[in-house]
Amino acid sequence: MKSEIFNISHAEEIQDGISKVKGWEISYSSMLVMIFAAERSKEEFMKLADIIHEAFPSADIAGGSVDVTAGEGYSNSEGFSVGFIAFRDSKTHVGLFEVNEYMRIPPGDLAVWYREIEQPKVVGLLVSGHVNFEDAISFTHIDVQSFGGIMNTGDGYCFGNGRMVSEGLVVIAFSGGSLRVKIDKCSGWQPIGRHMRITKLGGPYVIEKLDGRPFSEVYRYCLGEIEGESLMELTLLFPLMLYRNGKLTARHPLLIRDDGAAVFSTDFIVGEEVQIGYGNPARIIYEAQHMQQCMASFMPQCLLLADCISRWRMLSGDTEQELRLCRSMGPSVGFFWTGRNHQLRNTANAA
């Protein structure tokens, strides 16, 4: 495997990167190009994708719009992070699936696409809009690892091999060959305050009441009013925390409805016990350092980063503290997103 990452402001600037990649003195069976765009229009994204496709017609191209990019260990709230990843004897497969009128990904379409892939080893999931994670991971084999999350929750887009949609899912499957994959995660969030129970749902993804009171009322009561912070912004810093499959996960809503209910990308159960969570900056950095040590022993040739936007907010945008840990390990590309999924063997967790 060989990879190069480029952080650019405008589409035309990728030409220098293309020249560098074309100068690689290696042979490869497939190439994946990942494009993440912060504050860039659909038109400029398509222009960049077209330039890359013209230079590398057989390459798979995937990505979409995000709040903040993370390329080569640096965060950027404007511009593109572009990663060229060449595989010596493994294959990549990119599929794009649009939500239906019920805001769901048709499971049959995913299953048919997935069955055509031989020996899948890992699956990446990139979501644009209000798509639930159960749809995204339900089609994978239980022994196939997956990672992914929500790139954006409104006015965004996702892209896969020439097509772009506003509400949908990009699936990247890696298969065959000598490819080795390691997925790891770190958090730094911990539950605080009293235990509460979910007492009313408006469907599996909508919490209407906690302990008999509207979701928004409970959050306002527990956290009070913070000048300049909306309720949605507060839920990024203080997510809802619960145990699933024996693991502690943090979840924050995609939106808060006018009636005070909160809409999430993953399901809940009436009677489930939850707490409000808080991120300790010192613990965030400590866990990132521990993960870096684990990843360094794997000796990766490329890192795909999925950092939570809550971490970016909690560290007041000073993400260099944890991103610099990636720089010594190899080329890295990714972004800060609003929800993460990680599946290790047959246990899936979403945050």
Q: Where are the domains of the chain?
A: 2-185+284-350, 189-279
pLDDT at 252 over 70: yes
Structure tokens at 187: 């958090």
Q: How far is CA 32 from CA 21, 53, 278, 304, 335, in A?
A: 12, 11, 37, 12, 17
Note whether 232 and 334 are within 8 A (CB). Answer: no
pLDDT of res. 226:
65
Task: Return the bridge partners of 150, or none.
Answer: 127, 339
pLDDT of res. 289:
79
pLDDT at 239 over 80: yes
Q: CA 188 to CA 183: how far, in whole Å?
A: 17
- pTM of the model as a whole: 0.83
More confident residue, 256 or 345: 256
Span 295-320, pLDDT tens digits: 878 888 898 887 777 776 776 656 66
- Torsion, Cα of 54, 55, 58, 60 (10° steps): -90
Q: If you average pLDDT over every residue of the chain, what do you get?
A: 85
Note whether 33 and 148 are within 8 A (CB). Answer: no
Q: CA 21 to CA 64: how far, in whole Å?
A: 22
3-state secondary structure the chain: CEEEEEEECCHHHHHHHHHHHHCCCCCCCEEEEEEEEECCCHHHHHHHHHHHHHHCCCCEEEEEEECEEEECCEEECCEEEEEEEEECCCEEEEEEEECCCCCCCCHHHHHHHHHCCCCEEEEEEEEECCCCHHHHHCCCCCCCEEEEEEEECCCCCEEECCEEECCEEEEEEEECCCCCCCCCCCCCEEEEEEEEEEEEECCCCEEEEECCEEHHHHHHHHHCCCCCCCHHHHHHHCCEEEEECCEEEEECCCEECCCCCEECCCCCCCCCEEEEEEECHHHHHHHHHHHHHHHHHHCCCCEEEEEEHHHHHHCCCCCHHHHHHHHCCCCEEEEEECEEEEEECCEEEEC
Q: Residue 63: CA atoms inside 13 Å, Cβ hemisphere, count? A: 32
pLDDT of res. 349:
42
pLDDT at 43 over 70: yes
Structure tokens at 61: 């191209």
Q: CA 116 to CA 113: how far, in whole Å?
A: 6
More confident residue, 300 or 49: 49
Average pLDDT over residues 50-68: 96
Share of the chain above pLDDT 70, in %: 87
Length of the chain: 351
Share of the chain above pLDDT 90, in %: 41
Q: Count CB-CB contacts under 10 A for residue 107.
A: 13
Which residues, including other chains, have CB under 8 Å from residue 94's CB and lie 6 or more apart?
32, 60, 61, 62, 160, 161, 170, 171, 172, 173
Q: CA 207 to CA 339: how far, in whole Å?
A: 17
More confident residue, 70 or 292: 70
Q: CA 243 to CA 273: how far, in whole Å?
A: 8
pLDDT at 228 over 60: no
Task: Name the amino acid, one letter, at 279.
Answer: G
Note whether 40 and 123 are within 8 A (CB). Answer: no
Average pLDDT over residues 74-81: 91
pLDDT confidence band for 227 (50 / 70 / 90): low
**Burial, 22: exposed, middle or buried (Cβ in 10 Å; 0-12, 13-18, 19+)?**
exposed
Region class of 33: left (phi > 0), else alpha (psi between -120 and 50), else beta: beta
pLDDT of res. 145:
81
